[in-house]
């Protein structure tokens, strides 16, 4: 069982891994924030009732932020994070108006904010996530490559979760993901880390509000994983900055939280901007990444377009010129390029 340190030890572990303390870590870890969603809110006769529906990850490699100043509201570090949203096949079509005790929808699988969702068969979820957690250490493996007796090395992972007990039960029981087998170094439970005497079990929404983050689409597994990571980083920097000013050193506070003001939303927006840049834009109509609003076919992704087009090509071969009507229809929906592609691959047309 990986180590789950108590509050002070966990705070130190995180601060040290981020090189905020005087001591240096033996090895720069990768933070993997994880959140699981399940169909506990669905009616009893629903096919997904009490089943695991989503697993979200937010990943930050401490090597990527080493030597980089955190920037205002930790923006420079958050833009180095990446999120993955694994959605069990079939769960993208759930309809539910169930809400949590703050009135926020409990079903937000279609509102992943930091990338595009990956749809996976439920049985394959555990393996998909385990793969993300077992990261070969390329730097080290390069060095030991000559010595064939040595087995490949993997990166040290600190798993981050808001309430680890619930998450671990789901991961083990529902998808067979055993963190012992994956080789996790430690688990940072953010409920413990953010606990204060006046609030021993702080919820994620409350922490987000305290740190100035907009609570837009909670209960999407990957959004919650990102929010958990953002709050973890902001909290670590804030504690460090406070400790600094108590000793008369305002440098970190002035740099990260000017006027002692936390605006966590800036960090979350910085990550969205980085993903937008990397994926070639974000559509304002469907909010997916990788295309702009021009000619947006909401709910039609590239794979679906591809298979739709190849079905048409197949029909063309079998049925001859009757494809023209379909191509015209496609032209309206997809723009001219699809039709050009169909024409170039079509057999020569006979005279009508
Ligand atoms: Zn779109």
Same domain, 175 and 324: no
Which one, of 12, 41, 31, lies nearest residue 160 by Cα? 31
Same domain, 265 and 306: no
The 3-state DSSP class for residue 83 equals strand
Same domain, 235 and 271: yes
Q: Which tokens hold the place of 287? A: 């909010």
Same domain, 65 and 185: yes
Please give the pLDDT value at position 69: 97
Which one, of 77, 74, 43, lies nearest residue 63 by Cα? 77
Total domains, the chain = 2
Asked whether residue 136 is assigned to any structural domain, the reply reads: yes
Same domain, 229 and 333: no
Same domain, 110 and 225: yes
Asked whether residue 153 is assigned to any structural domain, the reply reads: yes
CA of 343 to the centre of ligand 1 (A): 26
- Of the candidates 264, 279, 294, which is a domain's last residue? 279
CA of 293 to the centre of ligand 1 (A): 5
Please give the pLDDT value at position 148: 65
Asked whether residue 288 is assigned to any structural domain, the reply reads: no
Asked whether residue 111 is assigned to any structural domain, the reply reads: yes
Which one, of 154, 174, 158, 157, lies nearest residue 166 by Cα? 174
Phi, psi of 130 (to 5 degrees): -60, -40
Kindly give the parts of the chain with pLDDT less than 50.
299, 305-313, 315-316, 319-352
Please give the pLDDT value at position 279: 92
CA of 116 to the centre of ligand 1 (A): 11
Same domain, 65 and 166: yes
Domain extent for 310: 302-345
Distance between CA 57 and CA 72 in Å, rounded? 24
Same domain, 232 and 319: no
Asked whether residue 175 is assigned to any structural domain, the reply reads: yes
CATH number, residue 185? 3.30.420
Residue 239: other Cβ atoms inside 10 A: 15
CA of 213 to the centre of ligand 1 (A): 25
CA of 332 to the centre of ligand 1 (A): 16
Asked whether residue 290 is assigned to any structural domain, the reply reads: no
Distance between CA 332 and CA 295 in Å, rounded? 10
CA of 264 to the centre of ligand 1 (A): 27
CA of 192 to the centre of ligand 1 (A): 40
Q: Which helix (H) or strand (E) holds 171?
A: helix 164-175
Same domain, 158 and 227: yes
Q: Which tokens hold the place of 11? A: 């705070």
Which one, of 265, 252, 271, lies nearest residue 20 by Cα? 252
CA of 285 to the centre of ligand 1 (A): 5
CA of 288 to the centre of ligand 1 (A): 6
Same domain, 107 and 220: yes
How many residues comprise the chain?
Answer: 352
CA of 282 to the centre of ligand 1 (A): 8
Same domain, 34 and 163: yes
CA of 226 to the centre of ligand 1 (A): 22
Same domain, 146 and 242: yes
Please give the pLDDT value at position 228: 97
Please give the pLDDT value at position 43: 83
Asked whether residue 295 is assigned to any structural domain, the reply reads: no
Q: Which tokens hold the place of 225? A: 């994983």
Please give the pLDDT value at position 351: 43
- Of the candidates 279, 294, 319, which is a domain's last residue? 279
Asked whether residue 174 is assigned to any structural domain, the reply reads: yes
- Of the candidates 279, 312, 328, which is a domain's last residue? 279
Burial of 102 (0-12, 13-18, 19+ CB in 10 A): exposed
Please give the pLDDT value at position 81: 98
CA of 47 to the centre of ligand 1 (A): 29
């Amino acid at each position: 069982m990986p180590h789950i340190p108590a509050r002070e030890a966990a705070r130190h572990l995180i601060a040290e891994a981020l090189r905020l303390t005087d001591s240096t870590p033996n090895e720069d870890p990768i933070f993997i924030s994880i959140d699981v969603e399940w169909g506990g809110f669905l009616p009893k006769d629903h096919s997904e009732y009490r089943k695991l529906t989503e697993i979200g990850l937010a990943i930050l490699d401490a090597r990527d932020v080493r030597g980089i100043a955190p920037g205002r509201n930790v923006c420079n570090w958050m833009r180095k994070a990446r999120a993955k949203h694994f959605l069990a096949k079939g769960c993208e079509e759930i309809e539910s108006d169930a809400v949590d005790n703050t009135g926020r929808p409990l079903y937000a699988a279609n509102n992943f904010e930091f990338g595009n969702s990956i749809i996976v068969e439920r049985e394959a979820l555990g393996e998909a996530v385990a793969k993300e957690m077992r990261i070969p250490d390329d730097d080290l493996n390069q060095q030991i490559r000559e010595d064939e007796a040595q087995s490949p090395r993997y990166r040290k992972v600190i798993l981050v979760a808001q309430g680890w007990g619930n998450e671990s039960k789901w991961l083990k029981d529902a998808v067979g993901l055993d963190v012992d087998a994956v080789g996790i170094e430690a688990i940072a439970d953010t409920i413990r880390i953010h606990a204060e005497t006046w609030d021993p079990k702080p919820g994620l929404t409350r922490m987000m509000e305290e740190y100035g983050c907009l609570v837009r689409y909670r209960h999407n597994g990957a959004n919650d994983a990102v929010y958990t990571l953002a709050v973890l980083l902001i909290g670590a920097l804030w504690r460090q900055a406070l400790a600094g000013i108590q000793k008369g050193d305002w440098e970190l506070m002035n740099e990260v939280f000017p006027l002692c003001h936390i605006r966590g939303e800036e960090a979350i927006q910085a990550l969205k901007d980085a993903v937008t840049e990397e994926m070639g834009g974000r559509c304002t109509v469907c909010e997916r990444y990788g295309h702009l609003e021009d000619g947006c076919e909401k709910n039609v992704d590239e794979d679906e377009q591809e298979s739709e087009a190849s079905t048409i090509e197949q029909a063309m071969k079998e049925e001859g010129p009757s494809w023209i009507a379909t191509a015209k229809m496609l032209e309206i929906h997809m723009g001219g390029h699809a039709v050009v592609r169909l024409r170039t691959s079509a057999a020569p047309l006979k005279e009508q």
